[in-house]
A and B are shown apart, each in its own frame.
Chain A
Amino acid sequence: MPQYSQFQPKPYRPRMSAFWYFDRWPFLLFVLRELSSFFVAYFAVLILVQIYALSAGPTAYAGFQACLRNPLMIILNAVTLLFVLLHAVTWFNLVPRVMVREVTGRQLSDFLVASPNYFVFIGASAIVALFILRIL
């Protein structure tokens, strides 16, 4: 190494591991939340397949339903549900971070701002369920 380089500034290049998200729990939670998008895409495609099977006739739909009864598919869909619920909870709890929270000069608590989301979630889920089960 030449003598003069000792006094030359070296550019700062932080080295980051490709597995940086295992370093801390909040990092891992962030990455798990972001990974929910793959499960959202998967389930949206599954709905497309279901619409196709329904349009193709009773035999095709029976085959689709038999495929969904496969234990591996049930596990995959259970994991999908967990990831989408993680997305939902983190999304609802984000609202107090981005919304104006002052009413009549008082700061509302995070809980109060986030809670309406959970009521809408319960109501929307109930309505969707009643339609899917053909009660409505």
Chain B
Amino acid sequence: MAVHRSNRPLGWLVFGTGGFLVAFLLPAQIFLYGIAIPLGLVPDPGYQSTLDLLRQPLTRVYLFVVLAFAFFHAAYRMKDTLADMLDMRKIDIVLAYLCYGGAIAGTIGALWLLWWVP
């Protein structure tokens, strides 16, 4: 008898790792860059200091890992959310191409931008 093998665990591994990285690391970044610094709640480190941070290889590796996993984590969930909420389960293969295509584009974009930091 043929055993049905699903390819979902492979996606889930990336989704799960992304889930932890997003949960642990993204809130601090959203709060500081998105709310606290624009509102002046904390002193703005300024352009040169932030660029110096971005120039460090460790920062770039960190950003690449977080961004790539965040994109794939989001794609995995967005596909299922769109299928469930908008009743599009019938075309979920199309949604999968769109969402994972977006995640691949985002990951390549991150690699490209981080590589060319002056």
Contacts and interface: CB of A to CB of B under 8 A. Distances in A.
* Genuine A/B complex: yes
Interface of A: 18, 21, 31, 34-38, 40-41, 43-48, 50-52, 54-55, 58, 61-62, 65, 68-69, 73-74, 77-78, 80-81, 84-85, 87-88, 91-92, 117, 120-121, 124-126, 128-129, 131-134
B51 A40 contact: no
Given A37-B81, A41-B102, A51 B117 contact: yes
Given A18-B87, A68-B34, A129-B32, A81 B106 contact: no
Interface in B83-118: 84-87, 102, 106, 109-110, 113-114, 116-118
A131 B47 CA distance: 14
A34 B25 contact: no
A77 B29 contact: no
Nearest to A121: B24
A69 B38 CA distance: 5
A108 to B, nearest CB: 20
Q: Is the interface of A mostly helix, strand, loop or mixed?
A: helix
Contacts of A31: 81, 84-85
A37 B74 contact: yes
A134 B44 CA distance: 9
Contacts, number: 159
19 contacts: A31-B84, A37-B78, A47-B29, A47-B63, A51-B54, A61-B47, A65-B44, A68-B37, A69-B39, A77-B35, A77-B38, A84-B26, A87-B19, A88-B24, A91-B23, A121-B24, A128-B25, A134-B50, A134-B52
A80 B34 contact: yes
Which bracket fits the contact residues of B?
A: 35 or more
Given A31-B81, A37-B73, A81 B30 contact: yes
A3 to B, nearest CB: 35
